Amino acid sequence: MAGVAVERDSGTGSSSTTTLKRGALGTFSVAFLIVSAAAPLGYLAGYGPLALLIGGPGAAASFVLGGLALAAFLGAFTSMTPYVKSSGAFYAYVSAGLGRATGTVAAVFAVVAYNLALVGALGAIATYLVPHVDDLLNGSVPWPVVAVVATVTVFAIAAAGIDLGARFLGVLLILETAIILVVVVAVLLDGGANGLSLDAFGLDRATAPGMGAALALTFVGFLGIEGIALYRSEARDPDRTIRRAGALAVGSMAVFYILVTWAIVQAFGTDQVQGAAEQHGADLFFVAADQYVGGWAATTMQWLIITSLLAAQLAFHNAGNRYLHALARDGVLPRRLAIVGRRTGAPWVAGAFATVVSLVGVAIAALLDWDPYFEMSVWLLSLAVVLILLLQVLTCVAVVVFLGRRADVPGRVRGIVCAVVAIGLLAVAGYELLTQFELLSASGPEQNATILTVLAGFVVVTVVGVAVVARLRPDALRRVGQDPDVPA
């Protein structure tokens, strides 16, 4: 098969393919994969009311700042894209700038973050889907059963190939975007509650109490943005495709979030939306849909939240698989995890491993009697967001160091400036998330202290563990972040 390398497995003597399918993804396909990971409808319905509750109408402005931060981040790391050929996404960038040991630390953060997101998203899917399944079957189905079915379904779609997965995600993304825009247009045509106004973007609104926390929440809506680099080896004309897909994904998400949040502010009134968010909570968007379009829109939106979360699950699965695949090709993980399907080019072995991890996670949550949403989903996704923010900051630092050593890189100064700006904005967001972690975790002080202690312990153990390996077995990390098709 063209574009798929065939290698001999030294352990079994059998031949296997370890190269992902070349040229399978265009600009829009990569953008769909990235945006789907953010689950726009699921995010807006789940976190939008919270952002409006704590930040008031100025929450719409927080997406302007969030979009600028991600645009700066995009400008920073894409300046390195022509010089990083590995499919290891951001850990390859960190390796190029800060060394292989630091790159390995970044890789561990990424793998753990995506597996946490995989398991956490299953809790959210089960929460929204169980009532519908109960109605259809006229009975009561345990949420772990629904989570298991979702896990197996996602694995089957992913194993069929990234091009099929991209088309599937594209259809779901178009559907969920369409229903949201129907509500937005209805609100605008009706004039909202008190007439249309841009007051939500005023300086007094953007600096109101709670806006720092609202800004931090906006970054949850961009979860999965690092997938821009992760699909490099499967993209057509990678250097151009990655840059264009990144600009399309970040730009469209930022504009979409700004527009929709502002429209919801108009739907309830600038001075009334905060009270409405407190009154309706997670039903805020459904109430707006019912009021301005009709009950059918609210019902459709409730179903599309499920497909939105399923699309995010598939995007997380694809991204996590590719991190495992890249690390296996780098020699950090067992080589068998790098095996891909001969026909599809999909990393199905890594996918099977991630699926087993997800099933174990569901089993543990069920045995601990965790609530699938408020504990399993919220806690695990909260940890994933913090780790990915940390990964993004490391990537920007790596960009500054890499470009500082390379005077021959076109756009070098622009890349460094973008990286410094992104570091500042991401650091502010990270600080707000950690100091107001209860906004993400929806838990009390004791639970938050436990979660953050576990997070800190994981970071320390990872750094120390990698430092020990780098000291005692430096050859084990010699290929981290390198192009596997080029001799070390």
- pLDDT of res. 24: 67
Residue 92 in contact with residue 86, Cβ under 8 Å? Answer: yes
Question: What residue ranges of the chain have pLDDT lower than 50?
Answer: 1-15, 486-488
- pLDDT of res. 125: 86
Q: Which 8-state DSSP code applies to residue 224?
A: T
Q: Where are the alpha helices (DSSP H) in 6-80?
A: 27-38, 40-55, 59-78
- pLDDT of res. 18: 64
- pLDDT of res. 293: 95
Provide the CA 81 distance to its chain's centre, in angstroms.
20
User: Percent helix, strand and coil across the chain, each rounded to 5?
Assistant: 75, 0, 20
CA distance 206 to 200: 8
Which pairs with CB-CB distance under 8 Å and at least 24 residues apart come from 466-473? 466/101, 466/104, 466/105, 466/108, 467/101, 469/101, 469/104, 470/100, 470/101, 470/104
pLDDT digits (tens, 9 = 90+) for 371-401: 898 788 888 888 888 888 888 899 999 999 9
- pLDDT of res. 369: 92
CA distance 361 to 119: 6
- pLDDT of res. 183: 94
Q: Which residue is listed with tokens 């409730």?
A: 302
- pLDDT of res. 189: 94
**Residue 41 is encoded by which pair of tokens?**
């409808």
Residue 128 in contact with residue 378, Cβ under 8 Å? Answer: no
Q: How would DSSP label each residue in 74-143? A: HHHHHTTGGG---SSHHHHHHHHHH-HHHHHHHHHHHHHHHHHHHHHHHHHHHHHHHHHHHHHHTS---H
- pLDDT of res. 5: 40
Q: Counting runs of H as helices and runs of E as strands, what totals does the chain give? A: 19, 2
- pLDDT of res. 266: 94
158: left (phi over 0), alpha (psi -120 to 50) or beta: alpha
Closest CA to 247 of 419, 72, 24, 39: 72
Residue 451 in contact with residue 379, Cβ under 8 Å? Answer: yes
Provide the CA 94 distance to its chain's centre, in angstroms.
19
User: Widest CA span of the chain, in angstroms?
Assistant: 73
CA distance 427 to 215: 12
